[in-house]
């Protein structure tokens, strides 16, 4: 009888292993499917609060970059890549990735 119990318990553990692996893969797939917001920074400007409060719809804010300078691609506050702005027909703007930033 003791032998049958071991065989039965081996069967159960063998049946559970693929399910556990499947659950882990499902969790990984769930995480990989999470949407994230990707932002593109074309430049920065420094101004005082007074200057900021004086902005109107016709104001131009001078940035620290030129139109054809590379842009930074960010997730959260971390730069993940750099690229060039490109015009996409019927869609507006896009970014052509030119370099990936090594993460520490």
Residue 9 — very low, low, confident or very high, per pLDDT cuts 50/70/90?
Answer: very low
The predicted pLDDT at position 26 comes to 83
Indicate the pairing of strand 71-75 with strand 78-88: antiparallel
pTM over the 0.75 mark: no
| 66 has a pLDDT exceeding 50 | yes
Are 82 and 101 in contact by the 8 Å Cβ rule? The answer is: yes
| 29 has a pLDDT exceeding 80 | yes
| 4 has a pLDDT exceeding 80 | no
């Amino acid at each position: 009888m003791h032998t049958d119990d071991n065989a039965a318990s081996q069967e159960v553990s063998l049946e559970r292993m693929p399910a556990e692996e499947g659950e882990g893969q499902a969790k990984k797939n769930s995480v990989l499917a999470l949407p994230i917001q990707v932002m593109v920074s074309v430049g920065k400007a420094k101004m005082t609060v007074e200057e900021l409060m004086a902005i109107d719809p016709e104001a131009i804010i001078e940035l620290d970059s030129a139109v054809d300078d590379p842009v930074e691609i960010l997730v959260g506050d971390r730069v993940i890549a750099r690229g060039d702005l490109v015009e996409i027909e019927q869609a507006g703007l896009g970014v052509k990735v030119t370099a990936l930033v090594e993460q520490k």
